[in-house]
Chains A and B, each alone.
Chain A
Amino acid sequence: MAPVLVLWLAMCLGATWAVDRGNFKTCDQSAFCKRQRALKPGDSPYRALLETMELTNTRLTLQLINDNNKVRLLLELYRLQGNITRVKINELKPLKPRYEVPDVLIRDPPTEPLSVLSQDESGVVLSLGAESQRVIVSVRPFRLDIMEGHDVLMSLNSRGLLAFEHLRMRKDTFSYKVTSTVASVWDNIKRVFSSRADPEAEKKEEADSADQAEATKEEEEKAEEGMWEETFKSHSDSKPNGPSSISLDFSFPGVEHVYGIPEHADDLKLKTTDNGDPYRLFNLDVFQYELYNPMALYGAVPVMLAHNAQRTTGIFWLNAAETWVDISSNTAGKTVFGKMLDYVQGSSEIPQTDVRWISESGIIDVFIMLGPTPKHVFSQYASLTGTQSFPPLASLGYHQCRWNYNDQEDVRSVDAGFDEYDIPYDFIWLDIEHTDGKRYFTWDPHKFATPKEMLQGLLDKKRKMVAIVDPHIKIDSNYKIHNEIRSRGFYVKNKDGGDYEGWCWPGNAGYPDFTRADMRAWWASMFAYDQYEGSMENLYTWNDMNEPSVFNGPEVTMHKDAVHGDWENRDVHNIYGLYVQMATAEGLVQRSGGVERPFVLTRAFFAGSQRYGAVWTGDNAAEWDHLKISIPMCLSLGLVGISFCGADVGGFFKSPTPELLVRWYQTGAYQPFFRAHAHLDTPRREPWLFGPENTALIREAIRQRYTFLPYWYQQFYHAYRTGEPVMRPLWVEYTQDPATFAVDDEFLIGQNLLVHPVTEEGARGVTAYLPGKEEVWFDIHTFQKHNGAQNLYIPVTMSSIPVFQRGGSIIPRKMRVRRSSSCMEHDPYTLYAALNARGVAEGELYMDDGHTFNYEKKEFIHRRLSFSNNVLSSVNLVPDSHFTTNSWIERIVLIGSSKPAKVTLKTADGIESQLEFDFDASMSVVTVRKPGMNAGADWTVTLE
């Protein structure tokens, strides 16, 4: 073990077991947050200058003036296709350009015409298209209200918290004195000329300059509060650009539930922040993070959803700087009784949630997604930042990871263990110790002397491997990667222009500037088989530490005044991790000549990261609460587009009890990214190390995962097409049922599977809420039927994983679980059709080759399966698709069906044949034996 690591970990472990909060800033310790938060709601100093309004076909522009300091802002308003309104606010004439986040939007969002409905001196009313939606721009104070009919959907700056710190010259420096002198001379000259022309104007100017002087004075007084320099612990931030933060408030009348803004280890429903810190978005490597608080974690997606029984809307705050989000609510803290009292007394106060965003730099660029349903919001957000990348099928299987599998022999014996204990898996992972001294893209010459041999061994079993490639590069002149990056000038620079250096796993390390397209292209080229020695087509990549983690940096990350080309890390911080994964995924695509889908796991992420692969919730711990939090953490990510989410099964730090480990496998088997992982210092925990009973329980959980792979795959295809989350909160499907709004101990996979994992130690039972008045739900193990809209108590044993199939759905499964998903490729399907109260069920069947991009050329089979009037049929959803399969339908299980007299199969060529079937009267289940038709064909099965 490297001494660095010992040192660092020992340092961290010196304290008690929990995050060291002192390592991370509170809002009060973050100068801009403190300044901004000191500003309380009230009248906004901003006024819209209607005379500056310009309306073109695609946008409206308008100047805003801050009456306190006379600094002008430029407001741009766009109506985007798909019911989205974009609001951009920047300085009219900034001293230098302010950062606008590139590479997140998948294209320039297509606009739709805006039109003025009415206008007077108090404001303008603009039409947002056909649906009687309007934007009202109020002049004094400036605010925006988005209306539908008589309802206000959302208001901006209604609490007057628009605050825009304009760029300015530092006043105690020489350059300022020169410019200010020049400016005053120029002012005088101007005044001489203008006074002749317009005496009225002169007065006004004088008044203005008096104002400005006053404002300047005020600013001078404030200038000491961390505007030009800030220190935290032993680190100082030089802030050469001075104050540059921005803030804006949003109000949601009628809304009590807001969600999103991951990543936080907190409940699904966001809490009000009045009595504590705001939710923080700032990508950080948080050692042993604590649960249920708003501290920043590894990733940031500045997207919030607001929901009530009538409507769902969303805000996408496109800013990559450190961001804080305050949430307050007029109903927060009210008891149910209080709310009832309001209702009885006919209190006029409607519930409202107010949100305020604060960012350290950049501009205000907000996309207001107007829904009206959650699925509309998902598609609106997807139209901006893209959808979940469609992963290779195998990556939806089980992943076995550990820090570290020690050598090739270790890998071989773990691989053999899975066969010995008959447990399927698809990927085995190698953490940092596999490298030659933490030099990524290399292998330890002793422990992994013949990586290709090892990879071939896995390939022979149709299995795959992931090796870690982190973005910190060991500074070592004998290391090719370092030499190339240095000679090309690709490293991030420090404030003085030299290469930025920080301490990480390899010791002293440089950080490639992934914000540069040329750097990313070079990085991608390093994954070519002839560059990355020892790599093969079944080797994939894991990007860790890409916040980036800098052990000796402020808050364990990069100095904010580090330089990325024209910008500071301050501006680009939260998007760095996205770029790392983007470049890596591109590398994996390129190495196969654009044929194969990549698989890249990342720890840090930003809006748009869904396009590049999977995300996990970082370094959790083997504790029951960490198992519980995996649900809301992944649900929150799913809501903002990142569907491919998982938590380390078993918990990274510490050692799980066998019970916790089993429960975690049972939970993870029903979460999108299913990987077990463990810290270097924990004892081994491969599935077979806890006695035959626990091995059997874990085996069963993993096997259940594999039987559902066709459903998972279809869900991911759907996510790729629509941006809808795979793992979703109940309220997304049951939008009008308030009982679902805060549920985060259970979840849906797609629309059709409801999962309530057991996350309590020693649990004898769980109470699951089965949503939907009209719905019926069937236990997937027993086929027992339960009505919707009830809290159901479910007794559990160690083998129980409470999962329900929605009545009205058809789920294709593959029941022949084999060593890996690839081994199951040609296997037949069993269709589980669960009938609803009307005797109807619907579902889809999607398949393709499982690993190439050929699905883009419609090389897939996508069919609609529907059961109604006692006829089950398979219809091609995409007639011009072309793919053939050997897979066939081996069984049809009709759940909640009455007993038929006979069952007839009719194939596309019109031939009819009788099918055998079984009927289980106790659960009303018809099992049709071996219908045998090809899974890609048209057919009907009729029950008579």
Chain B
Amino acid sequence: NKMLSSEMWIHILAIALFCCGSADSRKVRGISSSYKRFYREKKSFLCIDGSKLIPFEQVNDDYCDCADGSDEPGTSACPHGRFYCTNLGFRPHYIPSSRVNDGICDCCDASDEYNSHARCQNTCWNLGQRERAYVEGQMRTLDEGLRLKQQLIEEGVLLWREKQAQLRELQQVAEDLQIKLEEHRRKKREADRFKEQTLRALKGGDGGKSFHLKNKTLGGILICLFCNPYSISLDEVKAEVVPVHDEERHLGDDEAMVLTTTESAKTNRTLTCVLAHLLNTNKKFTVQGIKKVSFCWVLICDLQKKLAIDYGTDWEFLFLNGQCYKLKVYEYMYTLCPFNHITQKSTAGTEVSLGLWGMWAEPAKNRYNQMIYENGEPCWQGGSRSTTVTLTCGTETALRSVKEPSKCQYIMDFQTPVACQPVLKQRGVHSEL
């Protein structure tokens, strides 16, 4: 940032010198120094697009002669012209010619209102001060932000490794359990088959249906359901479960209990329990065992799903997963849980989903500045609520603003150090001056 301000000063000085140096020639209003060469006082003026040659007196004479507007840089005469505000002490910039002498102060040096009723003050110095302070602040924020980001990246990498390790560990545990369970089940099946045969022999009935449980299939369902990267609807789950369910007719009474107790839990938790029961051919022993296996699968899938998300090039956004950020706007409390969901709670207490984690807005460009949350609570006129979260650089991680520009379409401003981009710093320097 030191470099920045000194560069700015040099620039200002250069302009000042330039202006003094060329004070002899008639001042052509509304042009920048780089365009000066087109306006050297001669007998005639060639429109910059080369379309027309006009007497030099017709430059800035408040009548538009050139189609490109180049003969009237200092007046409002040309429809598509532009006026250069020198703005000594602040940033120079162009305004449309239509803002010259329109009674509204646009240039901070008041140069655009040289012939109007508007009483414009030269505010460039103040603006410059403020701007410099602001830019310095921004730079400090950026520096601090980047420093914090580096920490978070390091933490992120650690976290990532930790999660990977957890995953491997869990997978191992699950496998072990599975093996034990199958061993037990094999024994049980043999016992059952024996029992069944005995019963059949007793009743003389035809055991048309096999109670043989296809472990492979079930395992497949489990993995397929839990690790499906797309969310699974309850209906889909039922569709998968019901055929198995039918075969297994003899579900225990406590199944209902489990179902009800897990009602509010995640779908896959419920499913786990259902499946646990499906597998439950010997309540006394296997309930515990299967629950353990299933729980492991849930954890594994959770982890896998979590780890499948794009957390940025250095896993710098990973730490946000699991956090929630709140902001009260008017009568609503908004909660953003990055990579999970967004909700809106009214003072009356009703909570509405504004969207579930969808994706990064521009993943292709590898830019991580906008998140999309979709498939929130349906709107009464069709469609569902969705939210676009824009990430901006800051030293703290916080939800800054929420708006609903169109019905059911929300936009949020979310500030976090991990959104700070070094590239932004580079661009900042150039664009500020």
Interface of A toward B, CB cutoff 8 Å: 6, 9-10, 13, 406, 409-410, 422, 446-447, 460-462, 680-684, 815-819, 822-827, 890-891, 929-930
Contacts of B381 in A (CB 8 A): 13, 681
The contact sample of 29 A-B pairs, CB cut-off 8 A, is A9-B380, A406-B403, A406-B404, A462-B103, A462-B104, A681-B379, A681-B408, A683-B409, A684-B406, A816-B76, A816-B77, A816-B79, A816-B98, A817-B98, A818-B98, A818-B99, A818-B102, A819-B98, A819-B99, A823-B98, A823-B102, A824-B102, A825-B103, A826-B116, A827-B76, A890-B63, A891-B63, A930-B61, A930-B63
Task: Contact check, A406 vs B405: say whether CB atoms are below 8 A apart.
Answer: yes
Task: Contact check, B330 vs A447: say whether CB atoms are below 8 A apart.
Answer: yes
Q: Which residue of A lies closest to B80 (CB)?
A: A422
Provide the bound-state CA to CA distance between A929 and B63, in Å. 8
Please judge, given known A-B contacts A684-B405, A684-B406, A816-B79, whether A823 and B380 are in contact too, CB under 8 Å: no
Provide the bound-state CA to CA distance between A856 and B102, in Å. 28
Majority SS at the chain A contact face: loop
Contacts of B79 in A (CB 8 A): 815-817
Contacts of A680 in B (CB 8 A): 407
Select B407's contact among A681, A818, A929, beta carbons within 8 Å. A681
Task: Contact check, B104 vs A461: say whether CB atoms are below 8 A apart.
Answer: yes
Listed residue (B65, B96, B102, B331) with the most chain A CB atoms within 10 angstroms of its CB: B102
Provide the bound-state CA to CA distance between A10 and B403, in Å. 24
Select A823's contact among B65, B77, B103, B330, beta carbons within 8 Å. B103
Provide the bound-state CA to CA distance between A410 and B76, in Å. 30
Provide the bound-state CA to CA distance between A824 and B103, in Å. 9
Provide the bound-state CA to CA distance between A929 and B77, in Å. 12
**Nearest-Cβ distance from residue B235 to partner chain A, whole angstroms:** 26
Task: Contact check, B104 vs A446: say whether CB atoms are below 8 A apart.
Answer: no
Contacts of A410 in B (CB 8 A): 403, 405
Kindly list the 3 A-B residue pairs having the minimum CB-CB distance in the complex, ordered from nearest.
A823-B102, A930-B63, A446-B330
Contacts of B379 in A (CB 8 A): 681
Interface set, chain B 378-433, CB cutoff 8 A to A: 379-381, 403-409
Contacts of B405 in A (CB 8 A): 406, 410, 684
Task: Contact check, B403 vs A460: say whether CB atoms are below 8 A apart.
Answer: no
Provide the bound-state CA to CA distance between A818 and B113, in Å. 14
Contacts of B99 in A (CB 8 A): 818-819
Per the CB 8 Å criterion, the residue count for chain B at the interface is 26
Contacts of A446 in B (CB 8 A): 330-331
Q: Which residue of B lies closest to A461 (CB)?
A: B104
Given contacts A818-B76, A930-B61, 16 further A-B contacts (CB under 8 A): A9-B380, A13-B381, A447-B330, A460-B104, A682-B407, A684-B405, A816-B77, A816-B98, A818-B98, A819-B104, A824-B102, A826-B116, A827-B76, A890-B62, A890-B63, A929-B65
Task: Contact check, B380 vs A10: say whether CB atoms are below 8 A apart.
Answer: yes
**Nearest-Cβ distance from residue A288 to partner chain B, whole angstroms:** 13
Please judge, given known A-B contacts A406-B405, A422-B96, A817-B79, whether A6 and B380 are in contact too, CB under 8 Å: yes
Provide the bound-state CA to CA distance between A10 and B63, in Å. 58
Select A819's contact among B102, B330, B331, beta carbons within 8 Å. B102
Provide the bound-state CA to CA distance between A461 and B379, in Å. 37
Provide the bound-state CA to CA distance between A446 and B347, in Å. 14
Contacts of A827 in B (CB 8 A): 76
Provide the bound-state CA to CA distance between A683 and B411, in Å. 13
Task: Contact check, B77 vs A683: say whether CB atoms are below 8 A apart.
Answer: no
Provide the bound-state CA to CA distance between A826 and B104, in Å. 13
Contacts of B96 in A (CB 8 A): 422
Q: Report how many A-B pairs have Cβ atoms within 8 Å.
A: 65
Contacts of A890 in B (CB 8 A): 62-63, 77
Provide the bound-state CA to CA distance between A460 and B120, in Å. 12
**Nearest-Cβ distance from residue A915 to partner chain B, whole angstroms:** 11
**Nearest-Cβ distance from residue A110 to partner chain B, whole angstroms:** 46
Provide the bound-state CA to CA distance between A13 and B62, in Å. 57
Q: Which residue of B lies closest to A3 (CB)?
A: B348
Residue-wise, chain B 88-112 has the 8 Å CB interface mask toward A (1 for contact) of 0000000010110011100000000
Provide the bound-state CA to CA distance between A457 and B103, in Å. 14
Contacts of A462 in B (CB 8 A): 102-104
Q: Which residue of B lies closest to A444 (CB)?
A: B330
Provide the bound-state CA to CA distance between A462 and B99, in Å. 12
Task: Contact check, B406 vs A683: say whether CB atoms are below 8 A apart.
Answer: yes
**Nearest-Cβ distance from residue B30 to partner chain A, whole angstroms:** 15
Contacts of B116 in A (CB 8 A): 826
Task: Contact check, A422 vs B404: say whether CB atoms are below 8 A apart.
Answer: no
Provide the bound-state CA to CA distance between A399 and B96, in Å. 22
Contacts of A681 in B (CB 8 A): 379, 381, 407-408
Contacts of A10 in B (CB 8 A): 380
Q: Which residue of A lies closest to B61 (CB)?
A: A930
**Nearest-Cβ distance from residue A480 to partner chain B, whole angstroms:** 23
Contacts of B380 in A (CB 8 A): 6, 9-10, 13
Task: Contact check, B98 vs A422: say whether CB atoms are below 8 A apart.
Answer: yes
Listed residue (A409, A682, A826, A891) with the most chain B CB atoms within 10 angstroms of its CB: A826
Provide the bound-state CA to CA distance between A358 and B351, in Å. 55
**Nearest-Cβ distance from residue A651 to partner chain B, whole angstroms:** 15
Q: Which residue of A lies closest to B105 (CB)?
A: A460
Contacts of A823 in B (CB 8 A): 98, 102-104
Provide the bound-state CA to CA distance between A818 and B62, in Å. 15
Interface set, chain B 96-145, CB cutoff 8 A to A: 96, 98-99, 102-104, 116
Q: Which residue of B lies closest to A10 (CB)?
A: B380
Q: Which residue of B lies closest to A6 (CB)?
A: B380
Provide the bound-state CA to CA distance between A683 and B408, in Å. 9
Provide the bound-state CA to CA distance between A815 and B77, in Å. 9
**Nearest-Cβ distance from residue A1 to partner chain B, whole angstroms:** 8
Contacts of B406 in A (CB 8 A): 682-684
Provide the bound-state CA to CA distance between A823 and B104, in Å. 8
Q: Which residue of B lies closest to A820 (CB)?
A: B102
Listed residue (A410, A816, A929) with the most chain B CB atoms within 10 angstroms of its CB: A816
Contacts of B63 in A (CB 8 A): 890-891, 929-930
Provide the bound-state CA to CA distance between A891 and B78, in Å. 13
Provide the bound-state CA to CA distance between A447 and B403, in Å. 11
Provide the bound-state CA to CA distance between A753 and B263, in Å. 70
**Nearest-Cβ distance from residue A917 to partner chain B, whole angstroms:** 12
Provide the bound-state CA to CA distance between A930 and B63, in Å. 7
Q: Which residue of A lies closest to B408 (CB)?
A: A681
Contacts of B403 in A (CB 8 A): 406, 409-410
Provide the bound-state CA to CA distance between A669 and B99, in Å. 22
Provide the bound-state CA to CA distance between A816 and B101, in Å. 11
Residue-wise, chain B 365-386 has the 8 Å CB interface mask toward A (1 for contact) of 0000000000000011100000
Contacts of A929 in B (CB 8 A): 63, 65
**Nearest-Cβ distance from residue A373 to partner chain B, whole angstroms:** 40
Q: Which residue of B lies closest to A422 (CB)?
A: B96
Residue-wise, chain B 19-35 has the 8 Å CB interface mask toward A (1 for contact) of 00000000000000000
Contacts of B104 in A (CB 8 A): 460-462, 819, 823
**Nearest-Cβ distance from residue A17 to partner chain B, whole angstroms:** 11
Provide the bound-state CA to CA distance between A681 and B380, in Å. 9
Provide the bound-state CA to CA distance between A761 and B308, in Å. 46
Provide the bound-state CA to CA distance between A817 and B96, in Å. 11
**Nearest-Cβ distance from residue B101 to partner chain A, whole angstroms:** 8
Provide the bound-state CA to CA distance between A818 and B104, in Å. 11
**Nearest-Cβ distance from residue A421 to partner chain B, whole angstroms:** 11
Q: Which residue of B lies closest to A888 (CB)?
A: B62
Contacts of A817 in B (CB 8 A): 79, 98
Residue-wise, chain B 28-46 has the 8 Å CB interface mask toward A (1 for contact) of 0000000000000000000
Contacts of B77 in A (CB 8 A): 816, 890
Provide the bound-state CA to CA distance between A462 and B117, in Å. 13
Provide the bound-state CA to CA distance between A236 and B379, in Å. 36
Contacts of A9 in B (CB 8 A): 380
Contacts of A819 in B (CB 8 A): 98-99, 102, 104
Contacts of B62 in A (CB 8 A): 890, 930
Contacts of A822 in B (CB 8 A): 103
Contacts of B98 in A (CB 8 A): 422, 816-819, 823
Residue-wise, chain B 42-81 has the 8 Å CB interface mask toward A (1 for contact) of 0000000000000000000111010000000000110100
